[in-house]
Chains A and B, each alone.
Chain A
C-alpha cells in the first residue's frame, strides 16, 4: 500500500488547555483516493478531528503528518465562507488570487467547474441574493477552484432542505466523475449522505470508536429488517420485545422499532402470535437491511445511548 497522505499519531487536542482532551486519536491514516466519513453524535468530536486533519487546529500533543501541500487542501464548512457583498465571480477571483493562481489559471479553473457545478448563471450574481442551495454550490466552487487533492467537508448540508441537500451531493458526485476531487473527508450525521463514502469512522467522546469499510458495517447486522410502526409506543414495544427475542433491534424514534434478522417475515409471524406485542403494532414492513440501519445500530451500541433522532434514517 502507498504511503498515507495524512497521518495522526497519538494526537490530543483540547479547546481549553487544562481541560480533558476533546480529541484523542491513537493512530489514523488517510490514503489517496479514499472517501471517508466521520460519523457520530453532536459533540462526539467529528468536527474537531476533521479540523485537526485539515491542519486548522494544532494538536497540543502528538503529530500530524501531511504529504500534501497546503495549497492542495480545501475545506467546505457548515456555512458558506464567501463574501456575501461580492458576486460569485468576484469571490472566485479573490480566492484564486489568495491561492496564488494567475488570472489565466483562475479563468481556466472557473470554466472547468462551470459545467459540473452549473455556475454560469450564478457568476454575476451577488452572493447574498442567492438561495441557500446556490450559496453552497458557489462555496463548493470556491473550495474546488485550487484543484484540491483533499477536500474536507464539515457537515456541508447543515441547514439545507432535502431538495437542496440532494442537489449538493449530486453536484459533488458530478465533480467526482470529472476527476476533480481525489480524496474526500466529511463529517456528517445524515445517514443518506454516508452512502457516498467507502470508509466510515465512528467518533465517540472524542475518540475513534470504530473505523471500518462501508460494506463491512452493513454486514454487522443480519440481512433482513422488520420495520415496525408503533405510534409513540416504541419504547414499550422494545422493552417487551427484549423479553421474548434475541434478535438485534434499535429504536430510531418514538414511533418506530427496527428488528434485524435472517428472516424478517418469520420474525413478523412470531410477533403476531404475541398478543401484547401485536396490540402495539400499527403497521410493519419487511425489507433488506440498509446502511442507515447499521449506522444507527452501531451508533447506539458504541455510545451506549437510547436517545432518539441522533440520525436521520
Chain B
C-alpha cells in the first residue's frame, strides 16, 4: 500500500511537470530543455526557507513559485523574441548554470552531496489535489481566448501577428506560467523525498517531460495526462528494468514519431463520452 501511495504521489508530481511543458510546448510550440532547473529552484528555495529560516510551508511555496517566475523572466525576456531554437538552447544553458551554482554553493545548498533533512510535508492528498488544480488551470487556459491565440501562434506565427496578436507577450506569459508551475512541482518533490541533489534536475528530466507530451499527442491535454500516467507509473512498477527505462522510452517515442506523429490522441481531447463508449463496446464484446 505504501508503495502504491508513493507511486501515485510521484505520478501526480510528474503530471504537474508534464502540464507545465504542455502549456509551453503544446500550446505555443516552444521548447524548454531546462524546465527541470525551475523544479530545482522551487525545491531548493522552499527547502532553504523552511529548514534554515523556519518559515511556514505555505509561505515558502508562494515565495518559491515567485522565484521560479522571476528566473523565468530573466531567461525569457531576452530570448522570447528570437527564433524558437534559441529558447531551447538558452534554457539548456540555464539548466547547466543552475546545476553549477547549486554544486558550488556548498555552504548553502550542500553542493553535490545534496540537501537533506527536509520535513515530509507533501502527501498524496496534497500532490493529487495540486495535480487536479493544475489540470483544471491548463484546461481553462486552452479553452480561453489565450489558448486560442496560442493555437494561432503555434500554427503560423506570422499570420497570428498580422491579425494583431501580441506574439511576444503571449509566449512570455506561457513561459512564465509554466516556470511557476514547475517550481511548485519542485516544492512538492523536495518535501516528499525529503532530500534533493542537483543531479536530479538535469536536462534528461526536462527531455523526459517533453517526450511524455509528445507521446500523448502534442495538442491534447488529456493525452499529456494519460501519457504521464502510463510512462510515469510503468517504470515505478517495473523497477527491475530501471536501467533500460529511458532506452524503452526513447524507442517508443521514435516509433510514435515515425509512424503516428500525432501521438496517442493527436489534437483530440479524451471526453467522458469517449470512455463511456469504450466501456459499452467492451460490454458488447463480452
- A and B are interacting partners: no
